[in-house]
Amino acid sequence: MPPLKSAVTLAADARHTVTIVLNGAPRTGQAHPRLLLSDFLRHELGAHGTRVGCEHGVCGACTVRIDGVAQRACLTLAVQADGRRIDTVEGLSQSNEGPNQGPNEGRMTALQEAFRRHHALQCGFCTAGILMSLSDYLGRNPKPTEEELRDMLSGHLCRCTGYAGIVRAVMDVTGQTPEPGAMGEAAHV
């Protein structure tokens, strides 16, 4: 927990200095109290990798990690993030988890690579949020069952993939094969 700033009221019509540690580097910007963290990241700091899909906390596109924990940037004020560590999709490859796998793949993590191999994305608009949720979740639950994984993924809406490639990619990267018969592909056949 970072030290608290002085407990003074921040005036609505003034911009206030907000400092975060964005993907490991301190970044400072200005924010009215009502500025959403999603807008602060994208339009004040120019970190566009975090996408905005609904601004009411349902779609999950804007999910980032705040002090390591996956949360909605659209349901967080920039001033609330002051002094916090914020991790976004742009930082994933920097904190590379696995060995590089090939000539063009050096910049991506094993999870990102698995998304590519399994066609876990199409338009890509929901992808950053899903990756950020997974980067928190898999730390807590390194080998989720498909049911557990789908439960966690239900906090994200994807309109392109039907989620199949996403599930496959995570099962692959966690060293599992998708469970036959868990969904749809009925076990009786």
Partner 1 sequence: MTAMRTVESGAGGRAAVDHRPGVAVTDAEPAAQPFVGRPMPRVEDAALLTGVARYADDLPAKPGTLHAAILRSPHAHAEILGIDTAAALATSGVAAVVTGADAKRVASPFLVGVRAPMEHWCLAVDRVRHVGEPIAVVLADSRYHAEDALDRIEVRYRPLPPVTSIGQALDPASTPLHPGLASNLVNSRSFRYGDPEGAFARAARTVSIEVEFPRNSCTPMECFVVLAEHDAAEDAYEILSNFSGPFAVHPVMAKALNVPGSRLRLKTPPHSGGSFGNKQAVFPYIVLMGLCARVSGRPVKWVEDRLEHLMAATSATARRMRIDAAVEPDGKVLALRMEQTEDCGAYLRAPEPASLYRNHGNLTGAYDIPHLAVTNRIVVTSKTPTGLNRGFGGGQLYYGLERLMNRVAAELGLDPLDVIRRNLVAADAMPYRTASGGSLDSGDYHATLDEAVRDGALDALKARRDALRAQGRLYGIGYAAVVEPSISNMGYITTVLTAEERRKAGPKNGAQATASVAVDPTGGVSVHVSSAPQGQGHRTVLAQVVADVFGLGVEDIRVNTDLDTGKDAWSIASGNYSSRFAGAVAGAAQVAATRLRDRMAALVAGSLNSRPEEVRFAGGKVFAAGNPDNALSFSRVAAAGHWAPGTLPDGREAALRETAFWTPEPLKAPTDADHINSSACYGFIVDFCGVEIDRDTGAVRIDRYVTMHDAGRLLNPLLVEGQILGGFAHAVGAALYEEYAYGDDGRFLSGTFADYLVPTACEVPVPVILHRESPSPVTPLGAKGVGEGNCMSTPACLANAVADALGGPVPSLPLTPAKIAALIHPPEPPRPAAAGAAGAVGAPAPSASGGRGLTGEGSREVPAPPEQVWAILLDPKELAALLPGCEALDHAGPDAYRAEVVVGIGPVRGRYTAEVALSDLDPPRSLTLTGSGASALGTGRGTGHVTLERTAGGTRVTYRYSAEVGGKVAAVGGRMLDSASRLLIGQFFEKLVARAGGAPAPAERPGLLTRLLRFLGLNR
Partner 2 sequence: MKPASFDYLRPATVADALAALAAGGDDARVIAGGQSLMPMLNMRLVQPRLLIDLSRLEELRTLKADSGWLSVGAAVTQTELLSRPTLRDEVPLLASALPWVGHFQTRNRGTVCGSVAHADPSAEAPLCLVATGGEVVLRNVRRRRTVKAADFFLGPLTTVKAADEIVESVRFPLAAAGSGHAFREVSMRHGDFAIAACAATVDGTQASLAVGGVADRPTLRSWPLAGGALPPDLDAALNAFAWDLGGDDDQHATARYRRDLVRRIGRTVLEEALSCRR
Contact, 114 vs 172, CB < 8 A? yes
Binding to partner 1 (CB under 8 A) within 108-147 occurs at: 108, 112, 114-119, 121-128, 131
Q: What is the dihedral of CA 104, 50, 139, 159, to 10 degrees?
A: -90
Alpha helices per DSSP H over 89-145: 110-117, 127-140
Contact, 63 vs 129, CB < 8 A? yes
Q: Which does 38 bind (CB under 5 to 8 A by kind): partner 1, partner 2, none?
A: none
Quick check: 107 binds partner 1 (CB under 8 A)?
yes
Binding to partner 1 (CB under 8 A) within 65-104 occurs at: 88-90, 92-93, 102, 104
Q: Which does 53 bind (CB under 5 to 8 A by kind): partner 2, partner 1, none?
A: partner 1
DSSP summary character for residue 76: S
Contact, 84 vs 24, CB < 8 A? no
Minimum distance, C-beta of residue 142 to partner 2, in the bound complex (Å) = 15
Quick one: residue 26, left, alpha or beta (phi over 0 = left, psi -120 to 50 = alpha)? beta
* Residues facing 22 on adjacent strands: 25, 86
Which positions lie near partner 2, rule CB under 8 A? 1, 4-13, 32-34, 36, 39, 55-57, 60, 63, 66, 69-72, 74-77, 79-80, 133, 136-137, 151-152, 154-156
Minimum distance, C-beta of residue 66 to partner 2, in the bound complex (Å) = 8
Which residue stretch of 1-9, 65-73, 134-142, 159-167 sits at the interface with partner 1 (rule: CB under 8 A)?
A: 159-167
Taking CB under 8 A as the criterion, the residue among 15, 27, 32, 85 binding partner 1 is: 32
Q: Which does 179 bind (CB under 5 to 8 A by kind): partner 1, partner 2, none?
A: none
With CA atoms as reference, report the closest residue to 119 among 165, 88, 73, 74. Answer: 165
